[in-house]
Structure 1
Amino acid sequence: MASVGDLTTLGLQPNAAGEAPSVLIVGDGNFSFARAFLRKNAVAIGDSSIRVVATSLDTHEELLTMYPNAGGILDELHNGGVKVIHGINATRLETYDALVPESFDRIVFNFPHFAEGGNRRNKIHRHRQLLCDFFKSSTNVLKGEGQVWVTLCAGQGGTSVDPKQRAWGDTWQVVHCAAGAGLILESVHNCPVDELSALGYYSVGYQLRERAFWTQDSLSHVFCRERIGRRAQLPIEWDRDMSFWINDHFSEERLIDLLREFFPPEDMAVALTKLDDYHCSKTNRNAVTYRLHITSDIVALSKDDVNARATSALAAVEASEFADSRAS
Structure 2
Amino acid sequence: MKEAIGFSSEGMTPDLAFAGYRQLYAQGADVERLDGPFHARVTGWRFRHMLLFDRQLSGMAHVREERVTADGFDHIVLHHVLSGTLIGQGRSGFERAGPGDIVFLDTRRGHRTEARDLHLITASIARDLMLAALGSLGALHGMVVHAPETAMLGEFLQMLVRHAPTLDDRHDGAFARALIELLPTALGGPRDLAVEARRQDHLRREAVEQLIDREIANRQLTGAAIAERVGVSRATLYRLYERTGGIAGHVRRRRIDAVRRALEGAAEPDLDALAETYGLGSAAALIRIFEADQGIDPAAYRARLRQDRGDPVETGTRRWNGWMQELD
Quickly name the TM-score band, shorter chain normalised: under 0.3
TM value normalised by structure 2:
0.26
Name the structure with the higher helix share: 2
Structure having the higher Rg: 1
TM value normalised by structure 1:
0.26
